[in-house]
């Protein structure tokens, strides 16, 4: 998806593609004083041995995710981004967590200074991690700092990235369901550093549609009796989720929405199946059994067929721009108005898509009104 | 559907059924000071020779629309309502429109007085009429009054019913896509009489889901390229809509929502097929073709399988209660906050379901706050 | 389902219902010399404490599985069948398997004699058992007979029923995926006793549609890349299958068809979810990803929404009649021509529905031609 | 589609693509002594001003119909075929039909001789024509020959093509629902010339699936109450079918199958909607309402999402090879064994896909057994 972000952004900046899918390019955000797409510079961390972006872009073009002409058309920008990718952090790496964090902080600061950037927003788009057990040292910053020095397994990589970002004064976004910034100790750090953050797990498929539809049942006093879903997906993310541990993280974040919107747990299972030949495509089929007047049972089914990266990539741009502007205007802590983008929004319980959008627009208006 | 309304309301009042599907029975309306379900008394007009409610209720029970035990359990209430049904007005009836209206007015006034009712709300749930051509005398009340005296074909029956209701001081609701109250002359009458009205065409299926889903595409800057729909339905309404003229009325009111929400006309046809053996059930299949980041085409499909009367009946109760309370608090003219209930709301252009619901709730709060 | 069988058969015999769903009532079987529906007498085994048929029929009527009027209309026949139900055999019952089998044999013989029946066909429609591990004593009849005397756990109940049926000279049908007659030792017994048998696991939903559709891909040289399925079901069978062990039996029998028809294992998972509020209804959604000319990927999806008992019950009648006639004409061992009815047919590898039907019709013609 | 045929065949011949979708490349046809794919030489007629194949292949590659690398890889073969395209015949062309036919005959003979071909098979893959009214001169060959000389409007272009093909001794295939060879006079001509023919209207989508599924209902004695279908398609064919006259031809040929398989007309409409942005893709949604045991109503829905040309192109190759071999072995008149390929097979009433396939295979075996 990272490659899709860079390729698409470059093509839009060059006027080769319209900004379809970019929420922040619509009229509702015209007055929010966001940084222009032109103003963005891309860099990142990836694990050692990852293929260069130019190669990945070719693969995406063959799979129909980015236009066939685009890898060549934006080759310069891909090379430029590639040059800013540093070796990332993986679970079980030697050294203390502090040493690991320091390395990441140095990368972030160096990127900001070398490229003369006003600020850097860190977006976690790495592979989903399994759920990470809560520990006492997650509860407050002091305890966490001690743990960083002493031991190598107090945090999963996603949280070390989050720690490093906040310490470096960079807004941090959890695009995945990994633990990341979602720890009391890191919230404390964010507030202390005056840095905003948001997450987690971008909603781009089944949950997006669910949070558009579920409020309809609630508003119409129709009683949802069971909501069942099956997700078929290929691609790198699909392969990761074929591991039941990783897919457990995903299911937990997917299920929360329905419970919040309908006010009670609803029967029904959610399956996530890795179907390798689907490549970058994902299909979700949902079956909703509901009861109406007189106890009559009725159903709604939907099938969503989407291209994973095409759905997610523009949101990375949106989130980076919105977080940058929030930082600029002095916000810190969880950006609850970004709940619109996430399956499992941090710091807010509103899951109804339309109302999340209203909150986002109102906040964007306030962002624009500030100095 | 009228029979389902009476049967269901009676069963709920007796505690035999929970009020599933009744919007006004949810917590959001607890403070609106609406008349209780107990306070409602049913009557109406039907065309000569219509079967008695008890017989229709039996048919509905056999079709699984109302519970098998319910016709017997509420036999008294069905008889009571039946006794209040008067011969209705059909197109091409002899006599001037004034004479026809006067007959209807007399029925309404007599019902109100005999039953000692605070007010009567008229809800048009008759068969859908074909579109009726606009005429000069529809434009203002004076011209309309003259036309009533002189001619028999200036108004379709639905509008004579609306005229009669308003003249009799009764709030009027267009549950169907027929012309009804949707004429400038009748708006003038409503305001002059201090009577509120609302319409038109209750949204209970494809359009309900459409107006829940379409805002998702808009908010996410996804470009809807085509929205195609097929509606299969049996029942009395299906038979009426098998007539292409009547179904034209329905399609017009169904299409408006999408254009309003997405801001432009969208390609794609809407079919309404009468499938006799489906009985009271209707199925809508919609196919949405949309474009995302990088021009990638994706699709969403849904299948809605609902029982027509079970979906519509509770809304008749909701609308009657809300209109009654609006009348009580002195509102007149179009009740735009009721847009939530209609495919083609009068006097308001908001079609996004979630925002319609917010408007409705805010209005309900204001209703409750009044004397 | 047993109650649906008896209720439906009685209603058809009385001319109250047409024989829809009964394969053997179609023209293709007119010459097969099958016993008439009138000639059937119902009896069975159920576990202690099971509700009487009249009560179950009432429940089925409320759930819309049998017509509302039918329980009263066929009350006599239900009572009659109920009077012929004996206490069945459950896992872990005390005593040797021989003692258990003898009890069942006595019941069968007594039923045949008391009711003066030409023959009794035993159809296993009990709850699905978990897979039962294969053992050495299943391999031949001598070893099995010794094991019956010595130990209590060499066979699951379904196989004791099968043993008893065959020993009593009764054709035996495995309507479920339980082990039942599917053991070499029991095949030996069937041949020795001159008794035919068939199984297993009636195909009435997803697999039925699969075996109608999969041959299309094969015949058109379209390469199926993945076939994924989700089954939602309530009811007694759904509750049983909520146990992963039992559902494993079902999945194994469901998957075999596809492999046989396409000639290779196909990617894709099959989920079976118990969704309690679905009651007697089941829904299967299947997603087929296939490749055509030039490597283009395409998809077929289907949603099957059926009433479990209504789909299965007439097949019980069909199988009983066909097995009875086969017995009458002297067939013994597996009735491979009955593969049409089963997810996992015994003794035959043809899974293509249309060809199974041809085989069935040819065999029916032969049945009719015999003395 | 013609461009897809040539591109795909060339890629398969060069070993660049596997022959997925080619029925005659499967094991069942290994012994039929068909001409090899290598042996085929492509030519044709197109209307004046049609784009060159190389340009069309580029468009198809951009649309994902043929692989991105294929237009370049087979450029030579595309040029070669292009050089053999002659100006076709359109409705209302000046001159007598005889003159028109003679021009086409000359083209065919010249192609056969210049390229030193054993035989030429003509496959009509031109745009679908509206239904053409039957006339007396269609009834026998003598009358038709007179009409050709005298008048310009006795036949639609498709039938002039068919006449020319047969007169030139070329087998003729109606891949479209146009009138083509489907006239008694042309059947007479074919028999007289010793030339085989087949048609009409290749089945590649909704009807293909219908004829795989409908026999399931028939075999299971399930009563189909209504079968409704909506077809969405873009592309050239979609644009043609946006004309209600042309789409009428298509609907007639689509509907016949169901009636034949189920033995009676079934309720339900079939819609064909032109949805321009779908490009080469087509989607069919079908809803089947059926009744089972006890009168319970159930449903099956399917959604077929296919690439039109990718589905159809390999069948053109199959039909050409099979018709060539039939001609070689001396068959003339309608090739009823080719019914498997057509929505509305000429000369045969079997529409059940699986049985059509059996007939095809048996015939292929006979073809192979001949000298
Ligand atoms: N695509 C979507 O619609 C969507 C939506 C919501 C969330 N997400 C999440 O976004 C993430 C990325 O999705 P994707 O489709 O690009 O997956 P992907 O598998 O294609 O890419 C993941 C990338 O992360 C890198 N990586 C793995 N571990 C790393 C580490 N410790 N440090 C740095 N890099 C690491 C991998 O090398 C790879 O390049 C996933 O977690 C996914 O669940 C995606
Ligand atoms: N059921 C829904 O979900 C739904 C939703 C929105 C709108 N509607 C509309 O509500 C109306 C009623 O639906 P239904 O399902 O009850 O239909 P129906 O055909 O079962 O009942 C219509 C009733 O209207 C009566 N009628 C016809 N003309 C009349 C006249 N001129 N005066 C008085 N009575 C007359 C008929 O005798 C009949 O009893 C239809 O117009 C339908 O389009 C229904
Ligand atoms: N309904 C279908 O479409 C269908 C299709 C194929 C197979 N089947 C199989 O048929 C069986 C019955 O289905 P159902 O829907 O009637 O289920 P159900 O749960 O409603 O009924 C099962 C019955 O079996 C009885 N039973 C359980 N253990 C028994 C034992 N050891 N001896 C005697 N009786 C016993 C139970 O008391 C109950 O009455 C299941 O195994 C199911 O998998 C059903
Ligand atoms: N694609 C399928 O799955 C499929 C299946 C069955 C039948 N068909 C039929 O095959 C035909 C071709 O489909 P397509 O998708 O290639 O359509 P298309 O519109 O892309 O191509 C039709 C071609 O026919 C040419 N043409 C039109 N009139 C002609 C004439 N009188 N003489 C010679 N050429 C003429 C046009 O110039 C064009 O090149 C259509 O009739 C379609 O209904 C297609
Ligand atoms: Na799973
Ligand atoms: Na239509």
Q: In what order do the strands lie in the sheet with A122-124?
A: A122-124, A172-174, A196-198, A333-334
Centre of ligand 5 to C-alpha D126, Å, is 47
C192 CB burial (10 A radius; 0-12, 13-18, 19+): exposed
Cross-strand partners of C303: C285, D301
SS3 C343: coil
Which residues does chain D have within 8 Å of residue B289's beta carbon, measured at their own beta carbons?
275, 277-278
Picking from C271, C273, C303, the nearest residue to A301 by CB comes out as: C303
Model pLDDT for residues B123-163, shown as the tens digit of each residue: 999 999 999 999 999 999 999 999 999 767 899 999 999 99
Query: Which of C7, C34, C293 to mutate to probe the D interface, most D CBs <10 Å?
Result: C293
Contact D300, C304 (CB under 8 A): yes
**Residue D225: which of C13, B122, B275 has the closest Cα?**
B275
SS (H, E, C) A320-355: HHHHHHHHHCCCCEECHHHHHHECCCCCCCCCCHHH
Model pLDDT for residues B253-306, shown as the tens digit of each residue: 677 899 999 999 999 999 999 999 999 999 999 999 999 999 999 999 999 999
Nearest residue in chain B measured CA to CA from C58 = B68
Which residues does chain A have within 8 Å of residue B215's beta carbon, measured at their own beta carbons?
212, 353-354, 357
Q: Measured between CB atoms, does D68 come within 8 Å of chain A? A: yes
Picking from B212, B219, B314, the nearest residue to A357 by CB comes out as: B219
pLDDT at res. B237: 75
Q: Measured between CB atoms, does D297 come within 8 Å of chain A? A: no
Q: Which ligand is nearest to the CA of C175?
A: 3
Model pLDDT for residues C49-76, shown as the tens digit of each residue: 889 999 999 999 988 999 999 999 999 9
Centre of ligand 4 to C-alpha D333, Å, is 24
Using CB atoms and an 8 Å cut-off, which of residues 203-222 of chain A contact chain B?
208-209, 212-213, 215-216, 219-222
pLDDT at res. C242: 77
Model pLDDT for residues B214-250, shown as the tens digit of each residue: 999 999 999 999 999 999 999 877 788 777 777 777 7
pLDDT at res. B309: 94
pLDDT at res. D252: 73
Ligand 2 atom, smallest distance to B157 CA = 31
Contact A64 D64 (CB under 8 A): yes
Q: C308: Cβ below 6 Å to ligand 3?
A: yes
- A183 vs A129, A160, A162, A245, D334, CA distance in Å? 15, 11, 10, 20, 76
Phi, psi of D92 (to 5 degrees): 80, 15
CA atoms within 13 A on the CB side of A243: 12
Q: Measured between CB atoms, does B64 come within 8 Å of chain D? A: no
Q: B47: Cβ below 6 Å to ligand 2?
A: yes
In angstroms, what separates the C-alpha of A225 from chain C's closest C-alpha? 7
pLDDT at res. C2: 95
pLDDT > 80? residue A163? yes
Using CB atoms and an 8 Å cut-off, which of residues 13-32 of chain D contact chain C?
17, 19-23, 25-26
pLDDT > 80? residue B343? yes
Model pLDDT for residues B305-332, shown as the tens digit of each residue: 999 999 999 999 999 999 999 999 999 9
> What value does the mean pLDDT take over residues A30-39?
97
Centre of ligand 3 to C-alpha B78, Å, is 42
pLDDT > 90? residue A236? no
**Residue A179: which of A240, A119, A126 has the closest Cα?**
A126
Cα angle value B347/B145/B332 (rounded, 5°): 35
Mean confidence (pLDDT) of chain B: 95
Task: Give the residue carrying structure tokens 């839009």.
Answer: A12
> What value does the mean pLDDT take over residues D247-275?
87
pLDDT at res. D128: 93
Q: Measured between CB atoms, does C271 come within 8 Å of chain A? A: yes
| Domains of chain D and any CATH numbers | 2-202+310-369 (3.40.50.720), 206-307 (3.30.360.10)
- A188 vs A101, A334, B45, CA distance in Å? 17, 11, 68
Contact C21, D292 (CB under 8 A): yes
Model pLDDT for residues C247-275, shown as the tens digit of each residue: 777 777 677 899 999 999 999 999 999 99
State how far the Cα of A355 lies from the Cα of B28, in Å rounded to an integer. Answer: 16
What are the residues whose beta carbons fall under 8 Å from the beta carbon of C198, sequence distance 6 or more? C171, C172, C173, C174, C319, C323, C334, C335, C338, C341, C342, C345, C346
pLDDT > 70? residue B333? yes
pLDDT > 80? residue D255? no
> What value does the mean pLDDT take over residues A155-169?
97
Centre of ligand 6 to C-alpha D273, Å, is 10
pLDDT > 80? residue A12? yes
Using CB atoms and an 8 Å cut-off, which of residues 300-339 of chain B contact chain C?
303
Model pLDDT for residues A175-214, shown as the tens digit of each residue: 999 999 999 999 999 999 999 999 999 999 999 999 999 9
Q: With a cut of 50, which residues of chain C have pLDDT below it?
A: none
> What value does the mean pLDDT take over residues D65-94?
94
In angstroms, what separates the C-alpha of A64 from chain D's closest C-alpha? 8
Picking from B62, B68, B303, the nearest residue to C62 by CB comes out as: B68
pLDDT at res. A151: 67
pLDDT > 80? residue A242? no
- Is the four-CA dihedral B300, B303, B309, B311 of positive or negative sign? negative
Q: Tell whether ipTM is more than 0.90.
A: yes
Dump strand ranges (E) for D113-252.
122-124, 172-174, 196-199, 223-233
Q: Which ligand is nearest to the CA of D307?
A: 4
Contact C212 D209 (CB under 8 A): no
Picking from D62, D68, D303, the nearest residue to A62 by CB comes out as: D68
Which residues does chain A have within 8 Å of residue C285's beta carbon, measured at their own beta carbons?
230, 285, 287, 301
Centre of ligand 6 to C-alpha D225, Å, is 19
Closest CA to ligand 4's atom 32: D88
Interface A–D counts its CB contacts (< 8 A) at 7
Q: Which ligand is nearest to the CA of A269?
A: 5
Site to probe by mutation for ligand 4, drawn from D127, D243, D311 as the one with most ligand atoms within 8 Å of Cβ, is: D127
**Residue D9: which of D46, D53, D48 has the closest Cα?**
D53
State how far the Cα of A142 lies from the Cα of A152, in Å rounded to an integer. Answer: 17
Contact D285 B301 (CB under 8 A): yes
Q: C201: Cβ below 6 Å to ligand 3?
A: yes
pLDDT at res. B239: 81
pLDDT at res. C151: 67
SS3 A231: strand
């Amino acid at each position: 998806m990272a490659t899709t972000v860079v390729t698409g952004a470059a093509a839009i900046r060059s006027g080769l593609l319209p900004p379809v899918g970019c929420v922040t390019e619509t009229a509702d955000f015209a007055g929010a004083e966001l940084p222009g797409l032109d103003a963005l510079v891309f860099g990142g961390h990836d694990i050692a041995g990852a293929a260069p972006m130019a190669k990945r872009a070719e693969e995406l073009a063959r799979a129909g995710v980015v236009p066939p002409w685009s890898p060549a058309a934006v080759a310069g920008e891909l090379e430029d981004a590639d040059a800013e990718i540093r070796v990332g952090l993986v679970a079980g790496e030697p050294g203390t967590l502090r040493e690991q964090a320091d390395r990441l902080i140095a990368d972030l600061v160096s990127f900001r200074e070398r490229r003369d950037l006003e600020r850097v927003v860190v977006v976690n788009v790495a592979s989903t991690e399994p759920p990470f057990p809560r520990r006492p040292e997650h509860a407050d910053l002091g305890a966490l700092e001690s743990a960083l020095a002493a031991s190598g397994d107090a945090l999963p990589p996603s949280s070390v990235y989050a720690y490093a970002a906040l310490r470096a004064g960079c807004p941090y976004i959890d695009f995945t369901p990994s633990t990341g910034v979602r720890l009391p100790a890191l919230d404390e750090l964010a507030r202390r550093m005056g840095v905003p953050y948001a997450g987690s797990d971008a909603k781009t498929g089944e949950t997006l549609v669910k949070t558009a539809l579920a409020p309809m049942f609630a508003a119409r006093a129709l009683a949802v009796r069971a909501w069942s879903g099956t997700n078929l997906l290929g691609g790198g993310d699909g392969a990761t989720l074929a591991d039941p541990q990783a897919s457990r993280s995903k299911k937990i974040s997917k299920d929360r929405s329905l419970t919040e919107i309908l006010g009670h747990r609803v029967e029904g299972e959610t399956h996530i199946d890795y179907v390798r030949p689907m490549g970058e495509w994902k299909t979700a089929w949902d079956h909703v059994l509901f009861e109406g007047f007189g106890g009559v049972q009725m159903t709604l089914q939907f099938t969503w067929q989407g291209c994973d990266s095409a759905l997610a990539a523009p949101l990375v741009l949106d989130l980076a721009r919105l977080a940058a502007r929030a930082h600029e205007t002095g916000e810190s802590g969880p950006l609850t108005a970004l709940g619109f983008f996430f399956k499992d929004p941090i710091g807010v319980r509103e899951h109804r898509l339309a109302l999340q959008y209203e909150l986002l627009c109102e906040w964007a208006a306030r962002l624009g009104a500030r100095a």
